[in-house]
Amino acid sequence: MKLFDLKFLKTTLKVIVPLLFMTAASSQAADTVKILRERMPAYWARIDAVRNARTRISTSYYFIRTDRVGSTYLAELAAAAHRGVKVEVLIDGMSPLDSGTLRYLDDAGVELKFFHPAPFQKLGVPLIEAFKRPVRNLRYRMHDKLLLVDDQKGIFGGRNMADDYFEEDGIFNDIDVMITAADENSVLSDVRDYFDEVFSQPSVKKARNLKADDDEMEQTVQWFDEKLKNSDKDYSSEPIRAILSTLTQDTDLIDRDNIRFLHDPATGKKKHGAGIAHDLWSMIAAANSSVKIIAPYLIFTPETEKVVAQLRSDKNIPVEFMTNSVTSMDDEAGLIAALSRGEIARVAKYGVTAREQLGEQTLHMKMAIIDGSRTYVGSYNFDPRSYYFNSEIGIVMDSPAIANKFEAVYQSIDSIPVDSAASPGFSFSRFKSSLIKRDL
């Protein structure tokens, strides 16, 4: 017998080498997913990520209020900038900040921009110059909600940075996901490319109204310093350390091929057959066994109604929506809840079912579970504004294990079936869809 059998060696290598590459590729491409259902973990996950940032923070929100939560978040971002981290903040242009806050962030070295700022927003733009801007840009709003730190950690979902989303007495019932990158091929690299493209758009403007006087700045600095001091104290406390320890528990690994970042064009202007609405509803249309959707403002467009109708008529797939009841929305949004009742009654003819959340909290999460194995979570509201105008983002995950956890969230929401026969039959769906398409 030969001590060195070349033929045997070649055969062995043919089998082993591909397996080694497959194993390496699999281990390198598995991002970590953590569902952030509860308010406090969702809040402190953001603060912890910012505090541990080494090189770059990019964050965008529909709005950041200067209440306790929003102010603390801004103070943490300013502190990160002071220690040399590149900090980029993008806020929708209909959600301005006061001049003292703008100057505070600018003095810290934070690069703050506004998406399609309103003509009369106080950004130091001359009035005559403001009128030159296309008024139709006002209808294109940025509804994104994301935090990206060092391209290694990202948080996405439905929450804006304000007390109502994170405080124990907050009115919104919401959810986020936190993704930790395995390597440079993570889905977070797609998020980086998208953010950079949006942040460099000509219609995204730097804040210019920095003319806060000394007295105003003294009060502003004192306000933010107090928030940072309290955050320091809380961050090192035993209860918060216990919360932070849970962020690495009950997580799931997901291969790069099974997770996608959905978004609209960087310009913020929707394109037919492209963007998150097209991608998301195409996935829903391809369902094989079941569809469950949480939609805070359930108003169909003709396009989305067609998808739902075909799922029922062509495939006989169960389709269920969960939305707000009239009592779970504030007075301003109560009309939308009433309209949703009409929408539910109208699509009931296809065999679509619906549930309404009970209680005083407002259902704000945007979520879909398809075939019990594919999950979407993000900022897309499943309504005409999200379909036609708002810039939206979201994460799609192909994982039965993750889908099971979102199913548990769905089942945990206190809700009741909607009696479509008892619901008002009047719906503004087509009327609203045609009206909302018109130029403002």
- Pair (138, 269) in one structural domain: no
Among 191, 222, 248, where does a domain finish?
248
Buried b (16+ CB within 10 A) or exposed e, 58-83: bbbbbbbbbeebbbbbbbbbbbbbee
Among 229, 248, 267, where does a domain finish?
248
pLDDT reading at 289 higher than 60: yes
pLDDT reported for residue 1 = 46
3-state secondary structure of 398: strand
- Pair (274, 191) in one structural domain: no
Q: How many domains, in total, are found in the chain?
A: 2
- Pair (34, 153) in one structural domain: yes
Domain-located, residue 22: no
Looking up residue 166, the CATH number of its domain turns out to be 3.30.870.10
The single-letter code of the amino acid at 47 is: I
- Pair (212, 301) in one structural domain: no
- Pair (282, 344) in one structural domain: yes
Q: Convert the pLDDT of each residue in 391-400 to its tens digit.
A: 999 999 999 9
Sign of CA dihedral 196, 199, 200, 201: positive
Cα separation, 127 vs 120, whole angstroms: 8
Q: Mean pLDDT check: name the lowest of 116-120, 154-158, 346-350.
A: 116-120
Domain-located, residue 414: yes
pLDDT reported for residue 127 = 43
pLDDT reading at 304 higher than 90: yes
- Pair (363, 398) in one structural domain: yes
Domain-located, residue 198: yes
Q: Mean pLDDT check: name the lowest of 144-158, 209-223, 330-344.
A: 330-344
3-state secondary structure of 374: strand
- Pair (101, 227) in one structural domain: yes
Range of the domain at 262: 255-436
- Pair (350, 230) in one structural domain: no
Instruction: Write the burial class of residue 421 (CB in 10 Å: 0-12 exposed, 13-18 middle, 19+ buried).
Output: exposed
Band (334; pLDDT cuts 50, 70, 90): low
Q: Convert the pLDDT of each residue in 184-205 to its tens digit.
A: 999 999 999 999 999 999 999 9
pLDDT reported for residue 332 = 56
pTM of the entire predicted model:
0.88
Cα separation, 117 vs 129, whole angstroms: 13
More confident residue, 189 or 339: 189
pLDDT reading at 154 higher than 80: yes
Among 191, 218, 248, where does a domain finish?
248
Averaged pLDDT score across all residues of the chain: 87
Q: Mean pLDDT check: name the lowest of 37-41, 75-79, 194-198, 430-434.
A: 430-434
- Pair (229, 365) in one structural domain: no
Domain-located, residue 1: no
- Pair (228, 294) in one structural domain: no
- Whole-number Cα distances in Å, 288 to 103, 397, 399, 410: 53, 16, 15, 20
pLDDT reading at 308 higher than 80: yes
